[in-house]
Chain A
Amino acid sequence: MKKRSLLGKAPAAPYLVWSVLFIIAPLLFVAYYAFTDKDGNFTTANFGSLATAEYAEIFLRSACFAFLATVICLVIAYPVAYYISKTQPRTQKILMVLVMLPMWMNFLIRTYSWMAILEDTGLLNTALSYIGLGPYHMINTSGAVILGMVYNFLPYMILPIYTSLSKLDPRLVEASADLGCNSARTLFHVILPLSRSGVISGITMVFVPSISTFYISQKLGGGKFDLIGDTIERQFQTAYNYNLGSAISFVLMILIILSMTVMNRFGEEEGGMVA
């Protein structure tokens, strides 16, 4: 019996080694650098230097941008996912491929292209000028950055919601109609609660990369307002201050863990109510 369970665990070994090497060890490195100075002595000064109004604003700004991007993604993705899940199986496959299609291209190239689209002399403004509109100033604004986030991370919202909706038993919807619910009530009291797990993993998968992104804000925001990812990147790439960079990453990780815990708490509670 014991032998068998060991054998059963064996296939997990590669992943275990992988996660120790590439997840646990780097985390320990981050913690080590965050709590040491340049000479490797223990210090909390890195965190002390973060306690300024400027850094607080960067954290707040990043959280706001990520939050807005997540909400917009959710609002766009839910109807799309619902629509896809209601189509013929064959059409579903095609539509899913279409959702994934942009992800076949490199993330950096996609963002760089948005720069060419949104510029004052860019594609969009040129096109608008033909019909006598504009020019509208779009690049280097917070709207452009949020657009970049929504565009890049939207598939991560659509996919899990679609998965949970397509697993939803249509008989439950019929039952709710038989019991006299109108379609709005069916949506809010049956469909939405049953797809909550998809929504929550979608929110996680959009919020986390949004709050830590660095490339989008540099290209679409003109490097004029930093998000937290930009600040971290600069510490490692140009400022060569691993200690401060690690300290910021450390704080960011804690923030993300906190918000995820809160999210999951909501998920469990409400989920319990539905069941």
Chain B
Amino acid sequence: MKKIIFSGLLLLILLAMLLSFSSCGEAKEKVVLNVYNWGEYISDGSEGSLDVNRAFEKYYLETYGVEMTVNYTTYASNEDLYAKLKSGATGYDIIIPSDYMIQRMIEDEDGNLLEELDFSNIPNYRYIAEHCKGLGYDPEEKYTVPYTYGMVGVIYNSTMVDEEDASTWELLFNEKYKGQILQFNNSRDAFGTAMYMLGIDVNTTDMTKWNAALQKLVEQKPLVQSYVMDEIYNKMEGGEAAISAYYAGDYLSMAENNPDLRFFYPVNENGEYVTNIFVDAMCIPKGSSNKLAAERYINFMLSKEAAIANAEYIYYASPNSLVYEDADYQEYMGEEGMALLYPDDMDFALVYDTYAYENLDSKMLQEVNNLWEKLKVESSTLGSGVYIACGVLVVALIAFFIVSYVKKIRRRRYYW
């Protein structure tokens, strides 16, 4: 009896699958848009927020009479995205890489990976703040529409760190906080912390300067608790670590869970901001099967409701004037949030031009990766206990085999 019920169920499932497939074929027109974005980087309907992708599907059907499905997937880093595109994955219609990666995609050795945008389909581009337009990665404003921007700062736990230590990059290299410091687990950002502190241009091609930064990171290694990316959330919120450099927007969401956390943008001796600004921008990669729909998607993302929903969800600064000039949005972010994300006393263009990452050519990238490799494989604070235990065991094993072999031979002599 059980078997009959079971097979009946299986049949039902099969039937249901068949039906759902056939119903796909019935719709007269249907467009699929493949959006590839960072994780946690869009308002997705959780906690009562607006589900931007579903809203776009609805908007598309109402405006153009075409059924739209947004197929949304995520990646963890710019490098992942690049590796995916280069490995021949096609069919993505929208990607949102960071500035230096956009530059790398445009200048790619196998030809430009990005499509030129038709801005007549993106009228909302006019709302983008002037200072976010025509930046180094896309000076002619041909390929990109800024999505968010932000700055790297230092987060620290006020119960574990002295206030007076917290104003410069030195904090990440301070011996006092040995074992409580988190460092980025990606080469560019980790080297960035050392280079900003040493006053080195992060885009330099001078290897002696890169080596100086490596030296600093090697010295820092014994102080570092762990090299992490997303784990920073748990470790900082839980009080496991005291200090880490991370993005301002992420600090705001961490501070909600741990009120002891504080944040500052590192400054130099003149009190000027010395830190990385990044811009993440929407692009259409070559091989997009529906460029028009993709441009409409970009335009939709700049519309007021969607842009505010995203900005409130992500907590990063928005380049969209419809967002940052909106009173409700300002109230939602609070005074501290607004001051952090849109600092008045910062000259955006100056900081961006001086400190933002630019693409390194493939030879330089190789060199930097080699240095990072050196840091990561450098024999660290790891105790020798593992090797000793291993050695003892190996010796014991060998002794055991020799003894049993000798015994075996003796026994043979005895029996024969």
Contact = CB atoms under 8 A, between A and B. Distances in A.
A224 B390 contact: no
Contacts of B369: 238-239, 241
A241 B228 contact: no
Interface in B333-390: 362, 365-366, 369, 372-374, 376-383, 385-387, 389-390
Given A225-B380, A238-B186, A67 B393 contact: yes
A273 B376 contact: no
A142 interface: yes
A64 B386 contact: yes
Contacts of A119: 235, 238, 240
A67 B391 CA distance: 10
Contacts of A18: none
A236 B377 contact: no
A121 B240 CA distance: 6
A225 B382 CA distance: 7
A146 B387 CA distance: 13
A240 B82 contact: yes
B290 interface: no
Contact of B374 (A54, A116, A139, A142): A54
Interface string A33-59: 000001000000000000000110110
A275 to B, nearest CB: 14
Contacts of B382: 61, 142, 224-225
A223 B386 CA distance: 17
B226 interface: yes
A121 B83 contact: no
Contact of B228 (A38, A55, A61, A223): A223
A61 B382 CA distance: 10
B376 A234 contact: yes
Contacts of B394: 67
Contact of A142 (B77, B234, B386): B386
Contacts of B380: 224-225
A225 to B, nearest CB: 5
A187 B80 CA distance: 53
B142 interface: no
Contacts of A238: 77, 79-80, 186-187, 369
Contacts of B226: 139-140, 221-224
A17 B53 CA distance: 40
Nearest to A60: B387
Contact of A71 (B227, B372, B393): B393
Q: Is the interface of A mostly helix, strand, loop or mixed?
A: helix
A121 B239 contact: yes
A222 B225 contact: yes
A65 interface: yes
Contact of A224 (B224, B231, B362): B224
A237 B386 contact: no
Contacts of B54: none
Contacts of B80: 237-238
A234 B366 CA distance: 13
Contacts of A38: 362
B86 interface: yes
Contacts of A54: 374, 377-379
A240 B79 contact: yes
A236 B83 contact: yes
Interface in B168-188: 185-187
Contacts of A273: 408
A218 B383 CA distance: 17
Interface string A101-120: 00000000000000110011
B83 A224 contact: no
B291 interface: no
Nearest to B382: A225
B383 A142 contact: yes
A64 B377 contact: no
Interface of B: 77, 79-80, 82-83, 86, 185-187, 221, 224-228, 231, 234-235, 238-240, 362, 365-366, 369, 372-374, 376-383, 385-387, 389-390, 393-394, 408
Given A61-B382, A68-B390, A237-B77, 13 more contacts: A54-B378, A61-B386, A64-B386, A64-B387, A115-B231, A121-B239, A140-B225, A142-B385, A222-B228, A231-B376, A234-B373, A238-B77, A240-B86
Interface of A: 38, 54-55, 57-58, 60-61, 64-65, 67-68, 71, 115-116, 119-122, 139-142, 146, 218-219, 221-226, 230-231, 234, 236-241, 273
18 contacts: A54-B374, A54-B377, A57-B377, A68-B390, A122-B240, A142-B382, A142-B383, A142-B386, A219-B231, A222-B227, A223-B185, A224-B227, A224-B380, A224-B381, A231-B376, A236-B83, A238-B187, A240-B365
